[in-house]
Structure 1
Amino acid sequence: MARPQSPDYDKRREAILDAAARLFAARGFSGASMADLAKACGTSKSLVYHYFPSKDDVLYAVMTSHLDDLVAAAEGATQSGDAKARLRALTRAFMRLYVGAEDRHKVLLNELDNLPPARRAEVVARQRRIIAAVVGPIEALRPDAPAMPIAMLFFGMINWTHSWFRPDGALTADALADLAVEIMLGGIQAS
């Protein structure tokens, strides 16, 4: 008979992912071992292996947990409103998720090449869904413009906020998102 799952299984798994995200963000995937992860969690390697069969599985879970949140936010934010409202809602949703997920975001941006090819393809497919959610409103706003390059410029503007944005600073995440949308839509010159 199979052993029943612990009532705090999900909580422990999430704690391992949080520690892994911190560790991989600080040292890089290649610079951290499963022993380092166990030490960061204050547990044994065997317990980490109980939750994740390999270090690759941990990396994949760190990335996909963040991506799944971003995909859900993108899909939810683009359900209603005109193109500007959808773009604003989408940007606010992304910025709210970026705050507090700096480590996972950094791992997602920097460690993709460390995944095995099949898993890398799965992560890229999720990333493409997120990009498509931005391309849609851009195409609606400017059918004559190159939507994909504009979307990539947009992500270039917001994806690195994790490295400098402070939630207790002068701007809230929503205010920063609104500023990014205004810059994207109108440039930096006042009308």
Structure 2
Amino acid sequence: MANPNEALVNEPREAILDAAALCFMERGFNATSIDDIARRLSATKGMVYHYFSSKAELFFEIHHRAMDALFEELEPVAASDLPAPERFTEMARRYVHTLIRTQPYQRTVSEAVQMVLRNSTTAEQRDQLTDLQSRRSQCEAMFMAVLEEGMSNGTMQASRPRVSIKPVFGAMNSVINWYHHREGETAEQ
């Protein structure tokens, strides 16, 4: 994420999304106000509302961007000619790297999933989240396809692949909760 003041001038939508993602990560969706987002930017509420009609619109745009970031990294590897075990490993590496690089966005995705599980969403929010949940399933399906290919050619093993993939995602997704950036450290490290 760029310096908020520079980004606000050069790419205001991006700056607002970055600020909102950080606020949602720190305070949660329900506890965050448009005032909080504007304050983080040293901007006005009017500036935020000029680009986004509501806090919910920001929330869902962040979710879309988070998923787009994952697909950008995973699709080329999933479609590559690497052997299945290497492809699976590289996809997992890129997945975790993307989670770390876009952590505030990914934490917002995680909160959206929890909101659905707690049934604390409106009908309109559930409709939007259903579409986004479908994208999450597509992401998992990319990993499943590689695992199944590896199983079919004998290079990978799993007695129950649909069950086996769940702890892999649990471990990878947990990085957004425990990872904390250290000064001078890159996401790759």
TM-score bracket, shorter-length normalisation: 0.7 to 0.9
State the distance in 2 between where 1:68 and 1:129 align: 12
1:12-32 superposed Cα distances (whole Å, 9 cap, x missing partner): 111111111110111110001
State the distance in 2 between where 1:31 and 1:140 align: 45
1:14-65 superposed Cα distances (whole Å, 9 cap, x missing partner): 1111111110111110001111111111111111011111111000011110
Structure 2 residue aligned with 1:98 = 99
In structure 1, which of residues 135, 144, 149 is the aligned counterpart of residue 144 of structure 2? Answer: 135
Structure 1 residue aligned with 2:25 = 25
Cα gap change, 1:172/1:17 in structure 2, threshold over 3 Å: closer, same or farther? Answer: closer
Task: Out of 116-125 and 103-112, give the one that drifted further.
Answer: 103-112
Instruction: Verify: 1:121 aligned to 2:130, yes or no.
Output: yes
- Is contact 2:106–2:176 with CA below 8 Å preserved after alignment? yes
Aligned residues: 167
1:126-160 superposed Cα distances (whole Å, 9 cap, x missing partner): 10110001111211233563222212111001111
Structure 1 residue aligned with 2:68 = 68
Q: Any gaps of 5 or more consecutive residues in structure 2?
A: 1-7, 116-120, 153-157
Structure 1 residue aligned with 2:5 = none
Q: Which one-letter code corresponds to 2:127 in the other structure?
A: A
Cα gap change, 1:57/1:27 in structure 2, threshold over 3 Å: closer, same or farther? Answer: same
Report the Cα offset of residue 100 of structure 1: 2.5
Identity %: 24
Structure 2 residue aligned with 1:149 = 163
- Is contact 2:101–2:187 with CA below 8 Å preserved after alignment? no
Task: Out of 95-104 and 39-48, give the one that drifted further.
Answer: 95-104
Cα gap change, 1:9/1:133 in structure 2, threshold over 3 Å: closer, same or farther? Answer: farther
Report the Cα offset of residue 167 of structure 1: 6.1
Report the Cα offset of residue 99 of structure 1: 2.1
Instruction: Verify: 1:14 aligned to 2:14, yes or no.
Output: yes
TM-score normalised over the length of structure 1: 0.78
Structure 2 residue aligned with 1:160 = 174
Q: CA RMSD in A?
A: 2.4
- Is contact 1:95–1:173 with CA below 8 Å preserved after alignment? no
1:98-125 superposed Cα distances (whole Å, 9 cap, x missing partner): 2232211111112233570221011111
Q: Any gaps of 5 or more consecutive residues in structure 1?
A: 1-7, 176-191
State the distance in 2 between where 1:74 and 1:45 align: 36
Report the Cα offset of residue 168 of structure 1: 5.6
3-state SS of the aligned residue for 1:140?
helix
State the distance in 1 between where 2:131 and 2:10 align: 23
Report the Cα offset of residue 92 of structure 1: 1.6
